[in-house]
Amino acid sequence: MGNSRVLTGQLSDHKGMTLDIKEGWQVCIMMTTQSYFNQRVILKNQYGRIFFEQIRGRNKPMEPVFSQVIRNFAFAQPTLLIDVPESSRVDCRFSEVKIDNDKGEYVAVSYTFMVEDSTDYDYNDLLLHITAYRNVG
C-alpha cells in the first residue's frame, strides 16, 4: 500500500509558498470566491514565468467554480502567490496532502487554501484547490 503525508498550516506573509510539483506533472486548479475584495492568485516559476493567474472578486463576476488544467507542467517547484491588495489582513490556511505509491515514490499532491480577508473569519473569501500528479508510465 502507498502512504500519505498531511501538512496543515498558515501562510504568514505575502511571499508565497513553494508547491512540491515536479516537472512534467499534470496540474488541475480550481478556485472560487465569495469575497467583496478582489482575490489575485498567481502560479509562477523562479524566473517569473506565470502559469496561472486569476483575479476574482466583485469587479469580475465568476463562475461558481473556475477550473483550469495545465498539462505537462514545464517547471518544478512553482511558487503560489495569493494576494488581496485591498485587504490589510489576509489570513490564509492550507492543507497539503502528498501521496506515495506502493514503491514509495512520490506521485501526487493535493493542496487546499482557504482565505479570510476581513474580520468575520468564515474563510470563504477564497477557496483554491490544486491537485498535481505524475504521469503514469
Contacts with Ca ion, residue ranges (CB under 5 A): 116, 118, 120, 122, 125
- The helices-and-strands tally (H runs, E runs) of the chain is 0, 10
Instruction: Choose between 10 and 103: whose C-beta lies nearer to Ca ion.
Output: 10
How far does Cα 45 stand from its chain's mean position? 14
Closer CB to Ca ion, residue 20 or residue 91? 91
- Nearest approach, Cβ of 92 to Ca ion (angstroms)? 12
Closest by CA to 22, choosing from 108, 122, 117, is: 108
**Least CB distance from residue 120 to Ca ion, whole Å?**
5
Give how far Cα 99 sits from Cα of 2, 69, 113, 121, 131, Å: 7, 20, 18, 30, 11
Residue 43 or 128: the one with the smaller Cβ distance to Ca ion is: 128
Return d(Cα 104, Cα 100) in angstroms, integer: 5
Q: Which is nearer to Ca ion, 10 or 137 (CB)?
A: 10
> Min. distance of Cβ 34 from Ca ion in angstroms?
8
Minimum gap (Å) between residue 87 Cβ and Ca ion: 10
The candidate with the shortest Cα–Cα distance to 52, out of 31, 25, 37, is 31
The length of the chain, given as a count of residues = 137
